[in-house]
Structure 1
Amino acid sequence: MTQQYALRVMDTHAGGDVSRIVLGGVKALPGANVREQMVYLRDHADDLRRLLLEEPNGIPEMSVDLIVPPSQPDAVAGYVIMEVMGYPIYSGSNTLCTATAVLEAGLVEKQEGEQCFVLEAPAGRVEVSAVVENDVVRSVTCEGLPSYIDTVDAEIDVPGIGRVTYHVAYSGGFYALVDAEMLGFSLVAAEERQLAETAHAIVEAIRRAHSFVHDTLGDVGPLPFLHFMGPVETLAPGYHRARSATYVHPGVICRSTTGTGTSARLALMNHQGLIEPGDRLETESLRHTRFIGEFVARETVGTRQVVKNTITGRAYVIAETTLIANADDPMIEHLRLDHVIEPRRR
């Protein structure tokens, strides 16, 4: 009899970015905390990520969040983030989706009004505030990672494009930030393919020329993200809006503006003297979906000026299902699943 594996999943989206939340079916992972469990998956069980993000079960534009036991004593759940580029230690849109899923799945009992709880990402403890109205999760606000500027006004020659000016921020991953108008973009949906091709060329050029090291985490891998920045419009004192698009290497333009992309832009605006603590930036995607980043505080850590921030958005549940993987399916038979997914009970 062919072996089958079953995963309980809840599909969600925030700003158009689909996050598949894995609620059950995965065996207990080694590791004293969420970061160590992430490392185990990355180094020994990456077939789970491939199963859920590759055909026939997924597409590279999706993300996966695996619910795991937390190590933080006040955390209600841990979550490991899986994307086409690998295993980011933090993601704003994935955190919005995971927070919504733990409420909708009953891991945290929903309460009318505002309720606060803690999740544990691979990056560590994350405070979350959710607003529930008529038993519906209307919005979620989560901590963004403390963000800083690593590089300002660097230039690089990009084959087929020419000389490009860029900045680099850290906001949960290293981001190249580029001016969209300087590259001829208006940041509309019709430009999506060209944006991806342009970003791919820029990221490849930067990767060949430079590596980036986090002040405390050390080497976190090659540059994975690029954020196209539209012009900033001030709608009211302390409230700004900008069109934007985030690229994930290789080849993906995110449907949302992304939480980490918004945090990176806040760090740059702080560096440029354009915002003060308490100010907010509303980023708008190619699909007109929006996240709101708030500049909470400015701190000095070592030689860096670090921006503490929050990200606010809304996630929607779009499916709840049991995903079945058949071991003899030619589309997935090359994947090793038995050491990480529980066999299906018939």
Structure 2
Amino acid sequence: MTNAPVIQLMDTHAGGDVSRIVTGGIAPLPGATVRAQMEYLRDQADGLRRLLLEEPYGIPEMSVDLLVPATDPQAAAGYIIMEVMGYPIYSGSNTLCTATAVLESGIVAKQEGHQTFLLESPAGLVQIEAEVRDNVVESVTCEGLPSYIDTYRARVHVPGLGDVDYSIAYSGGFYALVEAAELGFALNLTEERRLADTAHAIVEAIRAERSFSHYSLGDVGPLPFLHFMGPVEQVAPGQYRSRSATYVHPGVICRSTTGTGTSARLALMHYEGRIQPGDQLETVSLRQTRFIGRFTRAEPQGDYSVVKNTITGRSYVIARSDIVVNCEDPMVECGALLSILGES
């Protein structure tokens, strides 16, 4: 085992969703952009994602973010997001966690008070704003991807459930948005397993019936997300709150409400005329963790009104560790991993 490859990790969480930040042990990836490097991992070297999200090293409810050198000179670092469903080009909670890791690891030096920097995601450059107090990263605000409503109040027949009404938003991935109360849910933690089973059935039914295409990106894959929406309450002028739960196909209910889920909600509220620029929505998870989405402005893109937004939350470092990759272990599949491992 003395020559076994080692991968360095910083485990973090935002709103309860654990993001495993890979800080070392991976060789430079081919590709002129972070997006191209993501596509290389997806198509040629999926072993890292599988290693860290499957037994014995991890579980599907986690995410992985691989730090890579930025290809845009404006950015402090690049990162590639990996989840059970594959390789999303953007994720709010993963961006909050990656930004915190970049600060805690010293890639970007902490500055007391307010500081800004750029990260390079597969979706492009992301503006980061961090609040540091007594050398502690107390909050991070990141840009949400431009979000819009693709489909409003469609209906699908779901075996075992009957007819289900849904809307489709794009916010970094396509989201089915459903009213939790219409399906008998109050969005309590005791409902988690039933929420996952219900979302699985709805997503499968929608995927069997239709597909979705982004107005500029084209085909971004089959529907991967569903967001259960609780009632929206106004808590102050321009400030709203809603219980929420995000599902990732197949089978995972996120611990947080997710950044992209919150962005999708903002897009729907704008579509329905319920919010104005400057308004914010606080989404509350099954575990009472919270993200704040702020609607900054809307602009026309073809047939759509696209919502620009930001997501604010807090990430915590929970572990720093070395993963020893033992290819003699029958539970470890090294075939799709060896080509990207660095020197131990």
Partner of 1:85: 85
Counterpart Cα distance in 1 of 2:123 and 2:267: 18
Partner of 1:53: 53
Match of 2:153, as an amino acid? D
Counterpart Cα distance in 1 of 2:3 and 2:226: 41
Counterpart Cα distance in 1 of 2:275 and 2:255: 26
- Equivalences for 1:66-77 in 2 at 5 Å? 66-77=66-77
Q: After TM superposition, give the deviation of residue 14 of structure 1 in Å.
A: 0.1
CA contact (8 A) 1:2 1:327 kept: no
Q: Secondary structure at the match of 1:326?
A: coil
Match of 1:222, as an amino acid? P
- CA RMSD in angstroms, aligned pairs only: 0.9
Q: Is structure 2 residue 340 aligned with structure 1 residue 340?
A: yes
Counterpart Cα distance in 2 of 1:180 and 1:302: 31
CA contact (8 A) 1:156 1:205 kept: yes
Counterpart Cα distance in 1 of 2:11 and 2:142: 19
Partner of 1:129: 129
Higher alpha-carbon deviation: 141-150 or 318-327: 318-327
Match of 1:58, as an amino acid? G
Counterpart Cα distance in 2 of 1:150 and 1:315: 31
Q: After TM superposition, give the deviation of residue 338 of structure 1 in Å.
A: 1.9
Counterpart Cα distance in 1 of 2:336 and 2:229: 41
Counterpart Cα distance in 2 of 1:175 and 1:210: 13
Partner of 1:244: 244
Partner of 1:323: 323
Match of 2:160, as an amino acid? G
1:240-287 Cα deviation digits (max 9, x unpaired)? 000000000000000000000000000000000000000000000000
Counterpart Cα distance in 1 of 2:26 and 2:73: 22
CA contact (8 A) 2:247 2:253 kept: yes
Q: After TM superposition, give the deviation of residue 205 of structure 1 in Å.
A: 0.1
CA contact (8 A) 1:3 1:326 kept: no
Q: After TM superposition, give the deviation of residue 238 of structure 1 in Å.
A: 0.2
Partner of 1:64: 64
Higher alpha-carbon deviation: 330-339 or 293-302: 330-339
Counterpart Cα distance in 2 of 1:326 and 1:146: 42
Partner of 2:228: 228
Match of 2:155, as an amino acid? E
CA contact (8 A) 2:51 2:333 kept: no
Counterpart Cα distance in 2 of 1:100 and 1:130: 8
Q: Secondary structure at the match of 2:100?
A: helix
CA contact (8 A) 1:143 1:309 kept: yes
Taking every aligned residue pair, what percent have the same amino acid on both sides? 69
Gapped runs of 5+ residues in structure 2? Answer: none
- Equivalences for 1:1-346 in 2 at 5 Å? 4-333=4-333, 335-344=335-344
Q: Secondary structure at the match of 1:322?
A: strand
Q: How many residues align?
A: 344
1:288-319 Cα deviation digits (max 9, x unpaired)? 00000000001111121000000000000000
Q: Secondary structure at the match of 1:328?
A: coil
1:212-248 Cα deviation digits (max 9, x unpaired)? 0001111000000000000001000000000000000
CA contact (8 A) 2:46 2:336 kept: no
Q: After TM superposition, give the deviation of residue 2 of structure 1 in Å.
A: 7.7
Match of 2:31, as an amino acid? G
Higher alpha-carbon deviation: 65-74 or 52-61: 65-74
Counterpart Cα distance in 2 of 1:343 and 1:191: 45
Counterpart Cα distance in 1 of 2:79 and 2:187: 32
Q: After TM superposition, give the deviation of residue 334 of structure 1 in Å.
A: 5.2
Q: After TM superposition, give the deviation of residue 321 of structure 1 in Å.
A: 1.1
CA contact (8 A) 1:3 1:327 kept: no
Counterpart Cα distance in 2 of 1:84 and 1:176: 18
Q: After TM superposition, give the deviation of residue 333 of structure 1 in Å.
A: 4.2
Q: Secondary structure at the match of 2:325?
A: strand
Match of 1:45, as an amino acid? A
CA contact (8 A) 1:4 1:343 kept: no
Q: Name the CA shift for 1:158/1:25 in 2 (closer, same or farther; >3 Å).
A: same
Q: After TM superposition, give the deviation of residue 204 of structure 1 in Å.
A: 0.1
Counterpart Cα distance in 1 of 2:125 and 2:176: 26
Q: Name the CA shift for 1:217/1:56 in 2 (closer, same or farther; >3 Å).
A: same
Q: After TM superposition, give the deviation of residue 70 of structure 1 in Å.
A: 1.2
Q: Name the CA shift for 1:262/1:329 in 2 (closer, same or farther; >3 Å).
A: same
TM-score (norm. length: structure 2) = 0.99
